[in-house]
Amino acid sequence: MMKKLTMFLCLACAWMCSLQAQEAKTFFKNMPDSLSPLLTAVNRADCIDFLESKMKAEVTNRFGGKSEMTELAPDYIRIQMTPQSSWQMKLLAVNDSTQVICTVSTACVPACDSSIQFYTTDWKELPLSDFITALPVMNNFLNTPDSASSYEYSEARLQADMLLMKADLSATDHTLTFTPATPEYMEKETAEKLKPFIRRPIVYIWKEGGFSIDS
């Protein structure tokens, strides 16, 4: 009985160690081609090899352009896919035995806008609402004006009819930062009127298996 118990504990320990040893680069290499329209499996492996060798991790992608991995950490990867677009991934722990992958894709044409997805570690997509209950809305980025500037605010706010925001996963901690990009698509004069009312970026922090606003 003791031998069986010892064997079970050893197997459980080995399984936990192998799980903890899995890094972002492993999952990135195993990413399905359907989720990586620009980078081939060889591209992905080369990026990692180049960066780990302290070389510039630039590759020629499927469409003949250049893509560059700019950051690689045990739980984080960032790639400049094209001059106008970037991609990030972060490994996040849901509990002691389960991790999920969060990705952020950002396109700037010219105003930046990001999309966020979550996946299991074998790249099955998960509902965004399971991990972020509420994304920022336009009013979250704006300070309420005093009466003296309410007219200027109202005029500029009417022109800000579409929320664009840039999302960034942190390479060093478990935060997700949203920065408003709406002024980038507005006429310069109107954007200047709106700028005094724009708040600092909004930071979400990962805790208890989900992102929520850091208060």
Query: Does residue 19 carry a pLDDT above 70?
Result: no
Tokens of 7: 């064997």
Query: Does residue 213 carry a pLDDT above 70?
Result: yes
Instruction: Note the pLDDT of residue 33.
Output: 93
- Least reliable range by pLDDT among 38-42, 111-115, 147-151, 159-163: 147-151
Alpha carbon distance 167, 114 (integer Å): 6
pLDDT tens per residue, range 157-176: 787 888 999 999 999 999 99
pLDDT tens per residue, range 45-59: 999 999 999 999 999
> Which phi and psi angles does 149 have, rounded to 5°?
-115, 15
> Which phi and psi angles does 164 have, rounded to 5°?
-120, 135
CA dihedral for 128, 134, 138, 141, sign (positive or negative): negative
Alpha carbon distance 175, 214 (integer Å): 9
CA distances from 99 to 34, 121, 137, 168, 186 (A): 21, 7, 28, 19, 40
pLDDT tens per residue, range 180-210: 998 888 888 888 888 888 888 999 999 999 9
